[in-house]
């Protein structure tokens, strides 16, 4: 019997432009589900996917293939709307090409996870993935997770989250670029029509938890299946620590969802056929071990 070992395929190019690359962490299991990781850092250089390397390694050890994706960041040529978002969509689509080239991935079980600004991108790309028809995406996103996500660009701008970074991303203030904001802000794109988990720490002093509370209420009102978990005493950066309660909550949710029976079954409007429950807004005080 042949025993597979874990491996990493670094710096795989998904496009010709600097920054269009990703690392693929492969578990020992064959044809594993895929978690796409999107780092934060207010969409700016010098922050990069190395932030998520420990998380990628941990998830790979738990049987997931992990696609740790880079994208054009503010401070590099061409970055911002729409190129940064388009990079994320193109990077996820590239998984289909890798599959054709012989990398055995279960593309029926793909989730996207993003932290902070990466959480914005994770929600955005899930919305785009579900609504785009021409050409139809080759990779269907089944779930998306925002870790302290910037889910409402206009409100983040008004709250001075990241200083003036939202204006940098859009090319100007949301009030002056209203159409761009509607096309770029997850709260304006609801319903996403994909299963969602939002994790946010009550002690976050970088991205206000109110952004996630407002977004989750709006998503539920729009008909989406969403769960908001408020992590008591957790700040903004704990999500990058594989030993944290925040990460334990994430990997347990991913394990439960991506191994759930009937995951491949979808309704006619593209929604997964999970039983719809009301938004579970709850606090997690459990300091569980990983």
The residue length of the chain stands at 290
Q: What is the pLDDT of residues 74-98, one digit of tens each?
A: 999 999 999 999 999 999 999 999 9
Assess whether pLDDT exceeds 90 at residue 235. Answer: yes
CATH code assigned at 108 = 3.40.50.1820
Q: How many domains does the chain contain in total?
A: 1
How sure is the predictor about 277, in pLDDT bands with cuts at 50, 70 and 90? very low
- Burial (0-12, 13-18, 19+ Cβ within 10 Å), 95: buried
Phi, psi of 166 (to 5 degrees): -65, -40
The candidate with the shortest Cα–Cα distance to 150, out of 165, 130, 168, 140, is 165
Rg over CA atoms, the chain: 18
Residue 265 forms part of a structural domain: no
- Spatial separation of the C-alpha atoms in residues 146 and 180, rounded to whole Å: 21
Residue 39 forms part of a structural domain: yes
Q: Could you tell me if 72 and 41 are in contact, meaning their C-beta atoms sit under 8 angstroms apart?
A: no
Residue with tokens 């807004």: 281
Q: What percent of the chain has pLDDT over 90?
A: 83
Region 172-179 average pLDDT: 97
Residue 35 forms part of a structural domain: yes
Q: What is the pLDDT of residues 52-80, one digit of tens each?
A: 999 999 999 999 999 999 999 999 999 99
Residue 266 forms part of a structural domain: no
- Spatial separation of the C-alpha atoms in residues 35 and 18, rounded to whole Å: 23
Phi, psi of 254 (to 5 degrees): -60, -45
Residue 2 forms part of a structural domain: no
3-state secondary structure of 112: strand
Residue 2's pLDDT is 37
Residue 290 forms part of a structural domain: no
By residue range, what is the domain housing residue 34?
Answer: 7-260+271-284
Residue 36's pLDDT is 98
Lowest mean pLDDT among 29-33, 110-114, 198-202: 29-33
Q: What is the pLDDT of residues 257-268, one digit of tens each?
A: 998 655 543 333
Residue 261's pLDDT is 54
Assess whether pLDDT exceeds 70 at residue 132. Answer: no
Residue 135's pLDDT is 74
Region 143-169 average pLDDT: 98
């Amino acid at each position: 019997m042949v025993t597979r070992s874990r491996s990493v395929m670094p710096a795989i190019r998904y496009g010709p432009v600097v920054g269009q690359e990703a690392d693929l962490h492969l578990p020992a299991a064959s044809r594993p589900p895929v978690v796409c990781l999107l780092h934060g850092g207010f969409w700016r250089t010098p922050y990069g996917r190395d932030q998520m390397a420990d998380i990628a390694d941990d998830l790979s050890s738990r049987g997931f293939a992990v696609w740790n994706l880079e994208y054009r960041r503010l401070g590099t040529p061409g970055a911002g709307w729409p190129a940064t978002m388009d990079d994320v969509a193109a990077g996820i689509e590239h998984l289909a090409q890798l599959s054709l080239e012989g990398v055995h991935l279960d593309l029926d079980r793909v989730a996207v996870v993003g932290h902070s600004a990466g959480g914005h991108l994770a929600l955005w790309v899930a919305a785009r993935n579900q609504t785009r028809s021409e050409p139809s995406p080759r990779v269907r996103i089944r779930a998306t997770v925002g870790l302290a996500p910037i889910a409402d660009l206009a409100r983040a701008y008004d709250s001075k989250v990241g200083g003036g970074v939202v204006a940098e991303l859009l090319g100007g203030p949301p009030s002056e670029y209203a159409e761009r904001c509607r096309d770029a802000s997850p709260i304006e794109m609801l319903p996403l029509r994909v299963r969602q988990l939002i994790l946010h720490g009550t002690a976050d002093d970088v991205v206000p938890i109110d952004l996630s509370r407002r977004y989750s209420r709006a998503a539920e009102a729009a008909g989406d299946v969403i769960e908001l978990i408020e992590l008591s005493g957790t700040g903004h950066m704990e999500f990058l620590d594989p030993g944290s309660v925040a990460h334990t909550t994430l990997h347990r949710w991913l394990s439960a969802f991506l191994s759930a029976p009937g995951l491949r079954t979808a309704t006619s409007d593209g929604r997964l056929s999970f039983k719809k429950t009301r938004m579970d807004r709850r606090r997690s005080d459990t300091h569980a071990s990983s």
